[in-house]
Structure 1
Amino acid sequence: MNILSLNIIGINGGAKANWVKEIRLSNKIGAVALQESKLESVSRSGLVGFWGNNTFEFSYAAFVGLSGGLIWIWDPNIFKADVIIQNRCYLLVRGSMVGSGILLNLINVYAPQSVVAKRQLWDDLTTQIEKYDGKWVLAGDFNAVRSLEERKHSKFKLACAENFNKFIFENGLQEFPMQGRKFTCIRDNGKKLSKLDRFLVSSDFFNSWPQACVRVLPGRHSDHCPIILEVVDLKFGPTPFWVFSSWIGQPGFEEAVVEASESFVAFDPPDVSLTSKFAHLRSRLKVWRDEFLSKEKESENMALSELEYLENEMESRDLTEEEE
């Protein structure tokens, strides 16, 4: 499974097709969550501009009153949907990852303003999480913060935060580090800031991709910034092998380098041969390093033992100049 394809974008309010298209050009996206569509019905033709081509499937929950409207768009080559549950405050799409069969539940969340109504939403979402197995990703505007630090110049409601944190804790949900910005909602010309938009994932999802992160993108078309969950394996090749300048001149270091260099047999092509030679040198230096650190640790332990002895002696007599 290509885990890069799990990248998910969450966008709240006023999103323009060209803008989403720009994001998709630089990121391989598996799903896009749109909020506040304010549409009673959604057509494929109306979403082509958001996705960039016709290779997508979608589901939506119509808006109620003056706000709302949730949409999920996903790549059927990456994610196969089996169950769709529509609600005024959330849109659940349940399915599996193509190729791997991993069960994945995607929820687009748009929480209400009322503290009581949010608590009811948390209960409803808990029921869904308990009902289905598989990994979970909850994306959207939760209209709640978890701590005072997630608001600036706006009212902090302790009861709301406690209810939200309780919901997260009881369902074993976790958050990835957020990069780009600290806040996702900007109002009153930047005077009021808050972190309302986020991704919450189940522990098994988090453990499968611990190096994933959430990026906050510039909010040019809404008071809410788009957020993207980048589910990537940050594998940059082998762990670097550090050679410290303090090693140079230590007994056996130069001999280990010379022996490794002279014992290596070159071959074609040159670039592969050079890479192999560095690997050969690294393996020989690791042996020398381990022996050197072992001896150094032994000397350190002896010195610490002697120091402890002298500290005990200081309590009963004066130390000699040599001991000092």
Structure 2
Amino acid sequence: MRWEEKVSWNIRGLGRPEKVKEVRNVIFESKCKICLLQETKLVNIKLWLEKQLKGSSFRGMVVSPSVEASRGLISLWDSNFLMIESTVITSRFIAMVGSLGSGNKKCGIINIYASNDSCERRSFFEEVSLFIANLNLPVIVGGDFNDVMCADERIEASTGSKSGLLLGNFILKNNLLDLPLQGERFTWFRGGTSIAASRLDIIILSPEVFSWFSSMHQRTLPRSLSDH
């Protein structure tokens, strides 16, 4: 998904050369200035991989290593577009604080991968909310939230799920905006005998950020080597 000049993508592992090539293709075709990757499943980033990901587009890169063959985050940025002042790295999110665009607009950009477990997800959202409150700056939060905001954003065999309460409360608590989604209705899909689909991947932001970029929108990118 992208807004103006940003791509966010759960890539479900970045250990294969074809995955790396596909990520590079998306970066090149989208001409993005910021790229947030989730679920890399990589403990270490080798030099060749870093060079491949950065290419000629990015100068900055921050990594949160994988934990027990899961998770893993990478945030990349063009330092001509985003001037970073500080970063915070945890196993579930990477936060970058800096000035965005030519207007020197200061904000926080948070790349997240929330837990599948609802109890862990609740505490995670509380942790991120506290970080945002202490930051006291406009924010852009993007990634895989492993939750939906309402029942219409999920198709599954089981019913009666309370998914959406945690994410909805997180958005309200932090006064964030969810921009209308263009393209596909869902961002994650599982086929086979039990079809399921959800809008797990979103980019939400402070109203101030939208005022800076009034033409901002979210658009799904084609699904390729990941089920996101």
Q: Could you state the TM-score of these two structures normalised by the residue count of structure 1?
A: 0.63
Equivalents in 2 of 1:90, 1:157: separation in Å? 29
Deviations along 1:94-120, whole A, 9 cap, x unmatched? 111254221121111100011111110
1:153 aligns with 2:156: yes
Equivalents in 2 of 1:201, 1:83: separation in Å? 19
Structure 2 residues not aligned, in runs of 5+: none
SS at match of 2:204: strand
**CA spacing shift, 1:60–1:157, aligned 2, 3 Å:** farther
The structure with more strand, counted as a fraction of residues: 2
Contact 1:104-1:136 within 8 A present in 2 as well: yes
Equivalents in 2 of 1:58, 1:204: separation in Å? 25
**CA spacing shift, 1:128–1:218, aligned 2, 3 Å:** same
Structure 1 residues not aligned, in runs of 5+: 225-324
1:62 aligns with 2:39: no
1:218 aligns with 2:222: yes
Equivalents in 2 of 1:156, 1:145: separation in Å? 14
SS at match of 1:59: strand
What is residue 50 of structure 1 aligned with on the other side?
53
What is residue 83 of structure 2 aligned with on the other side?
80
1:200 aligns with 2:204: yes
**CA spacing shift, 1:6–1:97, aligned 2, 3 Å:** farther
What is residue 27 of structure 2 aligned with on the other side?
24
What is residue 10 of structure 1 aligned with on the other side?
8
The structure with more helix, counted as a fraction of residues: 1
SS at match of 1:85: strand
Equivalents in 1 of 2:8, 2:111: separation in Å? 8
Root mean square deviation, CA, Å? 2.2
Displacement of 1:131 in angstroms is 1.0
SS at match of 1:29: coil
1:92 aligns with 2:90: no
What is residue 180 of structure 2 aligned with on the other side?
177
Equivalents in 2 of 1:55, 1:167: separation in Å? 31
Q: Residue type matched to 1:11 in 2? A: W
Q: When the two structures are aligned, how many residues end up with a matched partner?
A: 221
Displacement of 1:137 in angstroms is 0.9
Equivalents in 1 of 2:8, 2:191: separation in Å? 22
Q: Residue type matched to 2:116 in 1? A: Q
Alignment of 1:282-293 (within 5 A): none
Contact 1:148-1:156 within 8 A present in 2 as well: no
What is residue 265 of structure 1 aligned with on the other side?
none
Equivalents in 2 of 1:103, 1:43: separation in Å? 31
Structure with more contact order per residue of length (Cα contacts < 8 Å, sep ≥ 6):
2
**CA spacing shift, 1:169–1:43, aligned 2, 3 Å:** same
Q: Residue type matched to 1:60 in 2? A: V
Q: Residue type matched to 2:86 in 1? A: V
Runs of 4+ in 1 over 4 A off after TM superposition: none
Displacement of 1:206 in angstroms is 2.0
For the pair shown, which has the larger CA radius of gyration, 1 or 2?
Answer: 1
Q: Could you state the TM-score of these two structures normalised by the residue count of structure 2?
A: 0.88
1:140 aligns with 2:138: no
1:114 aligns with 2:117: yes
